[in-house]
Amino acid sequence: MMTIHVLDKKFVPYLSAETIAKRIEELAAKINEDYADKNPIFIGILNGSFMFASDLYKQISVSSTISFIKLVSYKGTTSTGTVITSIGLEEDLTGRNVILIEDIVDTGKTLSEFLPTIQKQQPNSIKICTLLQKPEALLHPLEADYVGFQIPNKFVVGFGLDYDGYGRNLKEIYQLE
Ligand code: 5GP
Protein backbone atom coordinates (compact mmCIF):
# COMPACT_ATOMS: atom_id res chain seq x y z
CA MET A 1 0.00 0.00 0.00
CA MET A 2 1.28 3.43 -0.84
CA THR A 3 0.26 7.06 -0.93
CA ILE A 4 -2.48 7.73 -3.46
CA HIS A 5 -4.26 10.70 -4.98
CA VAL A 6 -8.00 11.11 -5.21
CA LEU A 7 -8.83 14.23 -7.20
CA ASP A 8 -6.72 17.01 -5.67
CA LYS A 9 -5.95 15.31 -2.36
CA LYS A 10 -3.26 13.00 -1.09
CA PHE A 11 -4.17 9.99 1.04
CA VAL A 12 -2.03 7.56 3.03
CA PRO A 13 -2.80 3.90 3.78
CA TYR A 14 -4.74 3.34 6.96
CA LEU A 15 -6.54 -0.04 7.01
CA SER A 16 -5.46 -2.86 4.69
CA ALA A 17 -7.91 -5.10 2.84
CA GLU A 18 -6.86 -8.01 5.09
CA THR A 19 -7.43 -6.02 8.28
CA ILE A 20 -10.89 -4.96 7.09
CA ALA A 21 -11.83 -8.50 6.02
CA LYS A 22 -10.74 -9.98 9.33
CA ARG A 23 -12.75 -7.45 11.33
CA ILE A 24 -15.85 -7.97 9.17
CA GLU A 25 -15.58 -11.69 9.89
CA GLU A 26 -15.58 -10.95 13.63
CA LEU A 27 -18.57 -8.61 13.36
CA ALA A 28 -20.53 -11.17 11.36
CA ALA A 29 -19.71 -13.90 13.88
CA LYS A 30 -21.05 -11.71 16.69
CA ILE A 31 -24.21 -10.88 14.74
CA ASN A 32 -24.76 -14.56 13.88
CA GLU A 33 -24.54 -15.33 17.57
CA ASP A 34 -26.82 -12.48 18.67
CA TYR A 35 -29.45 -13.02 15.97
CA ALA A 36 -29.93 -16.78 15.87
CA ASP A 37 -33.72 -17.26 15.46
CA LYS A 38 -34.37 -13.50 15.27
CA ASN A 39 -34.80 -13.34 11.51
CA PRO A 40 -33.21 -9.87 11.23
CA ILE A 41 -33.60 -7.48 8.33
CA PHE A 42 -30.39 -5.72 7.37
CA ILE A 43 -30.79 -2.27 5.88
CA GLY A 44 -27.75 -0.94 4.08
CA ILE A 45 -27.50 2.82 3.79
CA LEU A 46 -26.30 3.83 0.34
CA ASN A 47 -24.03 4.82 -1.18
CA GLY A 48 -21.14 4.45 1.24
CA SER A 49 -22.07 1.11 2.82
CA PHE A 50 -22.44 -0.98 -0.33
CA MET A 51 -19.06 -2.72 -0.09
CA PHE A 52 -19.20 -3.25 3.67
CA ALA A 53 -22.79 -4.50 3.49
CA SER A 54 -21.88 -6.93 0.73
CA ASP A 55 -18.84 -8.39 2.51
CA LEU A 56 -20.65 -8.52 5.85
CA TYR A 57 -23.75 -10.15 4.46
CA LYS A 58 -21.75 -12.90 2.78
CA GLN A 59 -20.66 -13.97 6.28
CA ILE A 60 -24.15 -13.92 7.78
CA SER A 61 -25.50 -17.42 8.29
CA VAL A 62 -28.75 -16.79 10.18
CA SER A 63 -32.08 -16.62 8.38
CA SER A 64 -32.38 -12.95 7.36
CA THR A 65 -33.12 -10.49 4.58
CA ILE A 66 -31.34 -7.39 3.29
CA SER A 67 -32.55 -4.21 1.69
CA PHE A 68 -30.95 -0.90 0.75
CA ILE A 69 -32.05 2.67 1.21
CA LYS A 70 -30.79 6.11 0.39
CA LEU A 71 -31.12 8.92 2.88
CA VAL A 72 -32.27 12.26 1.62
CA SER A 73 -32.15 15.42 3.66
CA TYR A 74 -34.30 18.38 2.87
CA LYS A 75 -35.14 21.65 4.56
CA GLY A 76 -38.12 21.08 6.80
CA THR A 77 -40.71 23.71 7.54
CA THR A 78 -40.22 23.28 11.28
CA SER A 79 -37.64 25.09 13.38
CA THR A 80 -35.57 21.91 13.48
CA GLY A 81 -34.14 22.71 10.05
CA THR A 82 -33.29 19.67 7.99
CA VAL A 83 -35.37 16.53 7.89
CA ILE A 84 -33.93 13.19 6.93
CA THR A 85 -36.05 10.69 5.11
CA SER A 86 -35.34 7.56 3.14
CA ILE A 87 -36.10 6.32 -0.32
CA GLY A 88 -36.33 2.71 -1.37
CA LEU A 89 -37.65 1.08 1.77
CA GLU A 90 -40.54 -1.15 0.74
CA GLU A 91 -40.44 -3.69 3.55
CA ASP A 92 -42.81 -3.58 6.48
CA LEU A 93 -40.60 -3.32 9.57
CA THR A 94 -43.35 -3.92 12.12
CA GLY A 95 -42.09 -6.40 14.68
CA ARG A 96 -38.83 -6.98 12.78
CA ASN A 97 -35.32 -6.93 14.20
CA VAL A 98 -33.62 -4.23 12.17
CA ILE A 99 -29.87 -3.89 11.72
CA LEU A 100 -28.84 -0.67 9.99
CA ILE A 101 -25.56 -0.93 8.09
CA GLU A 102 -23.61 2.31 7.80
CA ASP A 103 -20.14 3.06 6.44
CA ILE A 104 -19.19 5.62 9.06
CA VAL A 105 -20.70 7.43 12.01
CA ASP A 106 -19.11 10.85 12.22
CA THR A 107 -21.15 13.45 14.15
CA GLY A 108 -24.05 11.01 14.44
CA LYS A 109 -26.39 13.60 12.96
CA THR A 110 -27.60 11.58 9.97
CA LEU A 111 -28.56 8.47 11.91
CA SER A 112 -29.91 10.20 14.99
CA GLU A 113 -32.24 12.25 12.77
CA PHE A 114 -33.24 9.25 10.69
CA LEU A 115 -33.91 6.75 13.49
CA PRO A 116 -37.36 8.16 14.39
CA THR A 117 -38.51 7.33 10.85
CA ILE A 118 -37.64 3.69 11.45
CA GLN A 119 -39.04 3.73 14.99
CA LYS A 120 -42.40 4.89 13.62
CA GLN A 121 -42.78 1.51 11.94
CA GLN A 122 -42.58 -0.17 15.35
CA PRO A 123 -39.85 -2.72 14.75
CA ASN A 124 -39.08 -5.10 17.60
CA SER A 125 -35.51 -3.79 17.79
CA ILE A 126 -33.11 -1.49 15.94
CA LYS A 127 -29.35 -1.87 16.04
CA ILE A 128 -26.63 -0.01 14.23
CA CYS A 129 -23.69 -1.73 12.58
CA THR A 130 -21.05 0.65 11.29
CA LEU A 131 -17.69 -0.14 9.76
CA LEU A 132 -16.10 3.04 11.10
CA GLN A 133 -16.78 5.41 13.94
CA LYS A 134 -15.08 8.69 14.86
CA PRO A 135 -15.69 8.96 18.62
CA GLU A 136 -14.10 12.42 18.84
CA ALA A 137 -16.53 13.81 16.27
CA LEU A 138 -19.73 12.54 17.88
CA LEU A 139 -22.14 15.42 18.58
CA HIS A 140 -25.49 13.66 18.65
CA PRO A 141 -26.68 11.00 21.07
CA LEU A 142 -26.15 7.84 19.11
CA GLU A 143 -24.88 4.47 20.15
CA ALA A 144 -23.60 2.11 17.51
CA ASP A 145 -24.00 -1.51 18.55
CA TYR A 146 -21.48 -3.11 16.20
CA VAL A 147 -18.42 -1.05 15.34
CA GLY A 148 -15.68 -2.24 13.02
CA PHE A 149 -13.02 0.34 13.85
CA GLN A 150 -12.91 3.45 15.98
CA ILE A 151 -10.81 5.92 14.04
CA PRO A 152 -9.37 9.39 14.66
CA ASN A 153 -11.18 12.46 13.44
CA LYS A 154 -9.57 12.50 9.98
CA PHE A 155 -11.19 12.20 6.57
CA VAL A 156 -10.99 8.71 5.04
CA VAL A 157 -11.72 7.20 1.62
CA GLY A 158 -11.92 3.73 0.12
CA PHE A 159 -13.89 0.53 0.63
CA GLY A 160 -17.09 2.32 -0.41
CA LEU A 161 -16.29 5.70 1.11
CA ASP A 162 -15.78 8.55 -1.32
CA TYR A 163 -14.14 11.89 -1.72
CA ASP A 164 -16.47 13.89 -3.94
CA GLY A 165 -17.74 10.70 -5.55
CA TYR A 166 -14.32 9.16 -6.18
CA GLY A 167 -12.30 6.52 -4.36
CA ARG A 168 -15.14 4.14 -3.50
CA ASN A 169 -13.50 1.32 -5.48
CA LEU A 170 -10.34 1.23 -3.37
CA LYS A 171 -9.96 -2.12 -1.56
CA GLU A 172 -8.27 -0.46 1.41
CA ILE A 173 -9.11 2.53 3.56
CA TYR A 174 -6.92 5.63 3.24
CA GLN A 175 -6.59 8.65 5.46
CA LEU A 176 -6.16 12.23 4.32
CA GLU A 177 -2.47 13.08 4.64
P1 5GP B 1 -22.73 12.11 10.37
O2 5GP B 1 -24.15 12.46 10.11
O3 5GP B 1 -22.54 10.97 11.34
O4 5GP B 1 -21.91 13.32 10.77
O5 5GP B 1 -22.09 11.73 8.99
C6 5GP B 1 -22.28 10.52 8.40
C7 5GP B 1 -21.93 10.58 6.93
O8 5GP B 1 -20.90 11.55 6.64
C9 5GP B 1 -21.36 9.26 6.48
O10 5GP B 1 -22.38 8.37 6.11
C11 5GP B 1 -20.45 9.67 5.34
O12 5GP B 1 -21.21 9.74 4.15
C13 5GP B 1 -19.98 11.06 5.69
N14 5GP B 1 -18.62 11.04 6.28
C15 5GP B 1 -18.28 11.36 7.55
N16 5GP B 1 -16.96 11.23 7.75
C17 5GP B 1 -16.44 10.80 6.58
C18 5GP B 1 -15.09 10.47 6.15
O19 5GP B 1 -14.09 10.53 6.87
N20 5GP B 1 -14.96 10.05 4.86
C21 5GP B 1 -16.01 9.95 4.01
N22 5GP B 1 -15.76 9.55 2.77
N23 5GP B 1 -17.29 10.26 4.38
C24 5GP B 1 -17.49 10.67 5.65
* Domain boundaries along the sequence of the chain: 9-176
- Per the omega criterion (within 30 degrees of 0), is the bond before 97 cis? no
> In a mutational test of the pocket of ligand 1, which residue from 106, 134, 140, 150 has the highest number of ligand atoms less than 8 Å from its CB?
106
Please give the single-letter amino acid code of residue 110: T
Q: Report which residue type is found at 172.
A: E
- The whole-number pLDDT of residue 123 equals 98
Q: What topology is assigned to 9-176 in CATH?
A: Rossmann fold (3.40.50)
Residue nearest to atom 11 of ligand 1 (CA): 104
pLDDT the model gives residue 13 = 98
Separation of CA 129 and ligand 1 centre (Å): 14
Predicted confidence band of residue 84 (pLDDT cuts 50, 70, 90): confident
DSSP string covering 121-157: T--SEEEEEEEEE-GGG--S----SEEEEE--SS-EE
Averaged confidence pLDDT in the chain: 94
pLDDT at 1: 66
pLDDT by residue (tens digit) across 144-165?
A: 999 999 999 999 999 999 999 9
Q: Say whether pLDDT at 126 is over 90.
A: yes
Measured in Å, residue 36 CA sits from the centre of ligand 1 at 31
User: Has 145 been annotated as catalytic?
Assistant: no
